A and B are shown apart, each in its own frame.
Chain A
Amino acid sequence: MRVNIEVNGVNYSEEIEPRLLLVHFIRDQIGLTGTHWGCDTSNCGTCVLWLDDLPVKSCTVLTAMADGHRVRTVEDLEQGGELDPVQKGFMQEHGLQCGFCTPGMLMTARALLDRNPNPSDLEIREAISGQICRCTGYENIVRAIRWAAANSSSNGALDVAEVAQ
């Protein structure tokens, strides 16, 4: 079957098998490998991306269900050479180690801050509780999202792009 999906602002018109999972479409067919695949039971959240403006577990979405919709992945967070505050926060607060859970965590964090620019620690923990990180013990992820919340104003506090060159 043919699907039309906008991924990170680019329109894709692709022939797919009806059973193809969105995570495999994004990774194998479109070649955006930032979104990961870590389990078979919708538990790990390494596959989180946005369908329209909502974070979803892309291992639990059929590509066909995304037909006519917009998808946003981790590759789209950096805009105009500038990292998103959540990306900067994860770097500043050491919110990642192996990096495997990171894209999913970043997409959830961005969605959280879009809706709740100043979340409490518990709200942050609840937001990421459907995703597993085996490396960080979560504390630095919480700090990273807090950092992003504190540094998301448009007052020029974000001139740290060079740290990530």
Chain B
Amino acid sequence: MTTTENQANPIGFGRMLRKEDARFLRGKGNYVDDLNLPGMLHGAVLRSPYAHARIKSIDISAAQAHPKVKAVITGEILETLNLAWIPSLSHDVVAVLATDKVRFQGQEVAFVVAEDRYSARDALELIEVDYEVLPPVVDAKKALDKDAPVIRDDIAGKVDNFIFDWESGDKAATDEVFANAAIVVNQDMLYPRVHPAPMETCGAVAYMDPIDQKLTIYSTTQAPHAHRTLYALVAGLPEHKLRVVSPDIGGGFGNKVGIYPGYVLAIVGSILTKRPVKWMEDRSENLMSTSFARDYHMKGSIAASADGKILGLRVDVLADHGAFNNTAQPTKFPAGFFHVFTGSYDLMAAHCSVRGVYTNKAPGGVAYACSFRVTEAVYLVERMVDRLAQELKMDPAELRMKNLLRPEQFPYTSPTGWEYDSGEYPRALRLAMDIAGYEELRKEQAQKRAKGELMGIGISFFTETVGAGPKRHMDILGLGMADGCEVRVHPTGKAVVRLSVQSQGQGHETTFAQIVSEVTGIPPEDIDVVHGDTDNTPFGLGTYGSRSTPVSGAAAAIAARRVVDKARIVASAMLECAPEDLEWEKGRFNIKGDKSVGKTMAEIALGAHGTVELPEGVEGHLNAECVYDPPNLTYPFGAYICVVDVDPATAKVSVRRFIAVDDCGPRINPMIVEGQVHGGLADGVGMALMEVIAFDEDGNNLGASFMDYLIPTSLECPSWETGATVTPSPHHPLGLKGVGESATVGSPPAVVNAVIDALAPYGVKHADMPLTPAQVWQAMQGAPYRTDLAIQ
């Protein structure tokens, strides 16, 4: 095999090897835990063993006496700094260290700063906490019972565990559609609590320079700018004396959006000891205390005509938010974008209602490639469509084809008010069916069934909703979801791009160079990408919800266009002609009609920094910036088909094939897009078949290590088969839609639909994720269990 095709990088879009690989492959990545600042101390967090308990007293004297301990911090000490509680991402508060009660197992109770990692942990053992154990609220369905213990008695006047009620859609119209429909199918389903579990856990190194009072926080954050502003607002620190650096991040998946108590504690530890303090959680801490995802109990109903025209959809959701409402959602949307639950179908009316409740579980709810709850929405609609197909005895592919939105319906306004930008749905589904050999698979299935073998084919068609803002509708704690970008061309024609978003593995150092290259014609290897350091990049809200390409990618494209616009003026001055007499050819301006006379970007850059006389009012140099507030979201979509085999003797599910056709608009770097899809598909297999954080009746977390929280390995994942269609977004400057979360959103229902299809001979209509052998076995006996509680 030769490698020459990879040696020549594209100018702009195309397959290109990643720039960042050079350091990662050599073990020279720079992750937070790799930092070792001079004089650095180590912090460790004491956590609650109980889900719900009153703290009667904390004795830290023995810990303080440990010879290597430099500081011991409790909630009481934080209260004196006004830092015991901080604002959550959803207009609630979160305890940094518990003062009155602990409200979930694993909650932060005290913090030790010591000379090394091991001593800090040793000292935790020396802290004596006297707890009065209280009954916990474990079952979300019982959170609003009259006799349920009140978790949030810290909130004045709070007498129950209610957080919010929210609804979307036209209830009356939906009721009418349901009343007149020939067929109505109801199905309850749970999208259980799962965890993003990036391979790198969360952590921070904080250093408050005692002389110039500048605080630098290196942390595992997906949103360094938002964090800086929040630190400034919460702690009253001057923002120009705050620098947040997000170095190399070992995977985020939403887990690293929020501000965790550990970050704040590292800061306080550094202020108290006047030395750098590192806090790095271990895996159990990560699984028990940081942002989980999902935990939606959904009651769905779908209405259709007798021949399979879908007419209406409705859903009631009970949302388990844990002990603090810390889900990262735009202020207007407490259930995120869940109300895009009508999915990819043309129907008359829809309505959803969502009720959020507190339970004695870790807070969060942003995370795991969530696209702001689109994952739950897609699961709901794709399961409901399959349930309808079961009742109609209709092929699920045929039912989808019959109801998918048609290309001429775009831009399409959904019954709950979303404006889908563009789509060619039937084409994508047909392509997936062709790659799969769908009709052949159905024949094979029929033969197998005749022999008593269990084979299932599952389809999912998803529409994603990504690229938040627009900022008039979308914010995080009042910060509008717009993003900045600066492009600076050096005198020799090389360039640097500064981004407000930041990579956790997505390959921004490569793809953003390609975006700027696409517009300016400067080779991508000549473009350096700077990201993840608030001192060196423009403000923006960070990388999550697949928003880097739709928002920051647009900012980069527009800034690059501004560079090209200016280059035209400079070139015209250099060539002594009018700007409009010039013609752009990727990377150079030529005199119209004469390609032999022109200037390359490198020549123009030198001219812009040189002595060429520019027209009145035109400044020198070749720089531009842009703050991009997207006019609309983008709507990537895809058609997925999963083929599974279920062993009737052991109830074990094997994913035999997985076909994924994704349409994310034009692909900046097809290699990277495919990689993003692969990763999301593995997530989907994980959620569908093995990942769950359940709790026992005492509120003990039953998924607190990788022994219990199962993640797919190479043996559970098939060799993914991918395909692409390209439908550009009409409003993004380069037509790009974003892809990071598509596969995580789209794949779980395909796997579940396949398993349920395989179990059809047993009359199984539904079973909740994860479809472990135990759950599948129970489903085959007609008694699937609740996966959010300990197995009874």
Whether the Cβ atoms of B719 and A96 lie closer than 8 Å is no
Which residues of chain B (8-25) have a CB below 8 Å from chain A? 17-18, 20-25
Task: Produce 1/0 per residue, B167-203, CB < 8 A to A.
Answer: 0000000000000000000000000000001111100
Whether the Cβ atoms of A164 and B21 lie closer than 8 Å is yes
Among A63-71, A112-120, A137-145, the stretch in contact with B: A137-145
A43-B505 contact in complex given A33-B27, A75-B26, C-beta closer than 8 Å? no
Give complex CA distance A129, B717 in Å.
Answer: 10
Whether the Cβ atoms of B34 and A33 lie closer than 8 Å is yes
Whether the Cβ atoms of A44 and B199 lie closer than 8 Å is yes
Task: Produce 1/0 per residue, A30-61, CB < 8 A to B.
Answer: 01111111111101101000000000000000
Write the nearest CB–CB distance from A38 to chain B, whole angstroms: 5
Whether the Cβ atoms of B24 and A126 lie closer than 8 Å is no
Write the nearest CB–CB distance from A21 to chain B, whole angstroms: 9
Write the nearest CB–CB distance from B511 to chain A, whole angstroms: 12
Which of A24, A35, A38, A126 has a CB less than 8 Å from the CB of B201?
Answer: A38
Chain B CB within 8 A of A121 CB: yes
Name which residue of chain A comes closest to B707, CB basis: A41
Whether the Cβ atoms of B28 and A137 lie closer than 8 Å is no
Q: Which chain B positions have C-beta within 8 A of A73?
A: 27
A151-B1 contact in complex given A44-B283, A133-B199, A139-B720, C-beta closer than 8 Å? yes
Give complex CA distance A103, B31 in Å.
Answer: 13
Q: Which chain B positions have C-beta within 8 A of A10?
A: none
Whether the Cβ atoms of B199 and A38 lie closer than 8 Å is yes
Among B443-451, B588-596, B676-684, the stretch in contact with A: B676-684
Which of B1, B506, B676, B715 has a CB less than 8 Å from the CB of A126?
Answer: B715
A132-B706 contact in complex given A28-B36, A97-B507, C-beta closer than 8 Å? yes
Whether the Cβ atoms of B21 and A91 lie closer than 8 Å is yes
Which of A41, A124, A135 has a CB less than 8 Å from the CB of B705?
Answer: A41
Write the nearest CB–CB distance from B709 to chain A, whole angstroms: 9
Whether the Cβ atoms of A128 and B27 lie closer than 8 Å is no
Chain B CB within 8 A of A74 CB: yes
Whether the Cβ atoms of A99 and B248 lie closer than 8 Å is yes
Write the nearest CB–CB distance from A55 to chain B, whole angstroms: 15
Q: Which chain B positions have C-beta within 8 A of A77?
A: 25-26
Whether the Cβ atoms of B27 and A75 lie closer than 8 Å is yes
Whether the Cβ atoms of A98 and B249 lie closer than 8 Å is yes
Whether the Cβ atoms of A34 and B253 lie closer than 8 Å is no
Which of B2, B3, B249 has a CB less than 8 Å from the CB of A163?
Answer: B3
Chain B CB within 8 A of A14 CB: no
Chain B CB within 8 A of A134 CB: yes
Whether the Cβ atoms of A165 and B22 lie closer than 8 Å is yes
Which residues of chain A (141-165) have a CB below 8 Å from chain B? 141-142, 147, 150-151, 157, 160, 162-165
Whether the Cβ atoms of A164 and B22 lie closer than 8 Å is yes
A132-B675 contact in complex given A121-B719, A137-B720, C-beta closer than 8 Å? no
Write the nearest CB–CB distance from B529 to chain A, whole angstroms: 16
Chain A CB within 8 A of B713 CB: yes
Name which residue of chain B comes closest to A93, CB basis: B671
Whether the Cβ atoms of A74 and B251 lie closer than 8 Å is no
Name which residue of chain B comes closest to A163, CB basis: B17
Give complex CA distance A106, B2 in Å.
Answer: 21
Q: Which of A41, A77, A103, A129 has the largest count of B CB atoms less than 10 A from its CB?
A: A41
Give complex CA distance A103, B27 in Å.
Answer: 6
Q: Which chain B positions have C-beta within 8 A of A162?
A: 7
Name which residue of chain B comes closest to A97, CB basis: B505
Q: How many residues of B contact A (CB 8 A)?
A: 62
Interface size class of A (residues with CB under 8 A): 35 or more
Q: Which of B17, B36, B249, B713 has the largest count of A CB atoms less than 10 A from its CB?
A: B713
Q: Which chain A positions have C-beta within 8 A of B505?
A: 97-100, 135
Write the nearest CB–CB distance from A84 to chain B, whole angstroms: 9
Write the nearest CB–CB distance from B356 to chain A, whole angstroms: 28
Give complex CA distance A46, B251 in Å.
Answer: 13
Task: Produce 1/0 per residue, A76-117, CB < 8 A to B.
Answer: 011000010001001110101111111100100000000000
Task: Produce 1/0 per residue, B42-76, CB < 8 A to A.
Answer: 00000000000000000000000000000000000
Chain A CB within 8 A of B392 CB: no
Whether the Cβ atoms of B3 and A160 lie closer than 8 Å is yes
Give complex CA distance A76, B322 in Å.
Answer: 46
Which residues of chain B (655-710) have a CB below 8 Å from chain A? 671-672, 674-676, 678-683, 705-707
Write the nearest CB–CB distance from B527 to chain A, whole angstroms: 15
Q: Which chain B positions have C-beta within 8 A of A46?
A: 199
Q: Which chain B positions have C-beta within 8 A of A98?
A: 198-200, 248-251, 504-505
Chain A CB within 8 A of B772 CB: no
Which of A31, A94, A121, A137 has a CB less than 8 Å from the CB of B682?
Answer: A137
Give complex CA distance A24, B22 in Å.
Answer: 24
Which residues of chain B (704-731) have a CB below 8 Å from chain A? 705-707, 711, 713-715, 717, 719-720
Write the nearest CB–CB distance from B278 to chain A, whole angstroms: 10
Name which residue of chain A comes closest to B684, CB basis: A137
Q: Which chain B positions have C-beta within 8 A of A133?
A: 199
Give complex CA distance A73, B719 in Å.
Answer: 29
Which of B6, B29, B282, B711 has a CB less than 8 Å from the CB of A134?
Answer: B711
Give complex CA distance A149, B463 in Å.
Answer: 39
Whether the Cβ atoms of A134 and B679 lie closer than 8 Å is yes
Write the nearest CB–CB distance from A4 to chain B, whole angstroms: 22
A100-B117 contact in complex given A128-B714, A151-B1, C-beta closer than 8 Å? no
Give complex CA distance A151, B249 in Å.
Answer: 30
Name which residue of chain B comes closest to A38, CB basis: B199
Whether the Cβ atoms of A28 and B17 lie closer than 8 Å is no
Name which residue of chain B comes closest to A128, CB basis: B714
Write the nearest CB–CB distance from A150 to chain B, whole angstroms: 6
Give complex CA distance A162, B506 in Å.
Answer: 23
A36-B21 contact in complex given A87-B26, A129-B715, A142-B719, C-beta closer than 8 Å? no
Give complex CA distance A31, B248 in Å.
Answer: 17
Give complex CA distance A162, B9 in Å.
Answer: 13
Whether the Cβ atoms of B199 and A96 lie closer than 8 Å is no
Write the nearest CB–CB distance from B506 to chain A, whole angstroms: 7
Whether the Cβ atoms of A91 and B717 lie closer than 8 Å is no
Chain A CB within 8 A of B535 CB: no
A38-B200 contact in complex given A98-B505, A99-B250, A129-B714, C-beta closer than 8 Å? yes
Q: Which chain B positions have C-beta within 8 A of A32?
A: 27
Q: Which chain A positions have C-beta within 8 A of B17?
A: 91-92, 94, 163
Write the nearest CB–CB distance from A163 to chain B, whole angstroms: 6
Q: Which chain B positions have C-beta within 8 A of A24?
A: 117
Whether the Cβ atoms of A97 and B675 lie closer than 8 Å is yes
Q: List 28 A-B contacts (CB under 8 A).
A: A28-B36, A33-B27, A33-B29, A40-B282, A43-B705, A46-B199, A91-B18, A92-B3, A92-B17, A94-B17, A98-B505, A99-B21, A99-B24, A100-B29, A126-B714, A128-B713, A130-B713, A134-B251, A135-B675, A137-B679, A137-B717, A139-B717, A139-B719, A140-B675, A142-B714, A160-B3, A162-B7, A163-B17
What residues of chain A have their CB less than 8 Å away from a CB belonging to chain B? 17, 19-20, 24, 27-28, 31-41, 43-44, 46, 73-75, 77-78, 83, 87, 90-92, 94, 96-103, 106, 121, 124-126, 128-142, 147, 150-151, 157, 160, 162-165
